[in-house]
Amino acid sequence: MFESLWEPEATVRAPNREEPLNVLDPNHEAPLNAHAPEEPAALAVSADDFAAIENRIYRAVELVKQVRQAGATAEGRMAEWEARAVRAEAQVQAQSLMVEQLERELQALRKDRGQVEQLELELQALRKEREQVRQRMERLLKQLDALEL
């Protein structure tokens, strides 16, 4: 695919020199005017270097794909958790309304209980009073019976 763009070795012809310079060799001493602006340098990449770059690009592409997929998965999970949070909030709100209703009913029952206790006390007082009236009536009847002898 890119084979026409590279040469087997990187070489540069230095001005006033007959032998090519290997620009990939870091130990090679280049003349001071080797990169003069008048003569453009022909830079080539070796097959091994090209293959290494190609492998790095493929790995980078795969990493980008993995990161995108992980991001999409994370976004999906986040949307799911947000939906769960909305449902939970709705449940909490509904339960809060139920709790308030139950608290009102409990207060009403406590109030009714207080009224029931008060009515029970009144009933006890009325029974006591009735017993006293009955006892008085029995005494009066005994006295009337004693008069009729």
| pLDDT tens column, 83-115 | 999 999 999 999 999 999 999 999 999 888 889
pLDDT bin (cut points 50, 70, 90) of residue 41 is low
pLDDT bin (cut points 50, 70, 90) of residue 64 is very high
List the single range of 39-48, 66-75, 92-101 with lowest mean pLDDT. Answer: 39-48
Quote the pTM value: 0.41
What pLDDT does 63 receive?
96
Domain map (residue ranges) of the chain: 1-45, 47-132
Q: Can you tell me the mean pLDDT for 26-30?
A: 50
SS (H, E, C) the chain: CCHHHCCCCCEEECCCCCCEEECCCCCCCCCCCCCCCCCCCCCCCCHHHHHHHHHHHHHHHHHHHHHHHHHHHHHHHHHHHHHHHHHHHHHHHHHHHHHHHHHHHHHHHHHHHHHHHHHHHHHHHHHHHHHHHHHHHHHHHHHHHHHCC
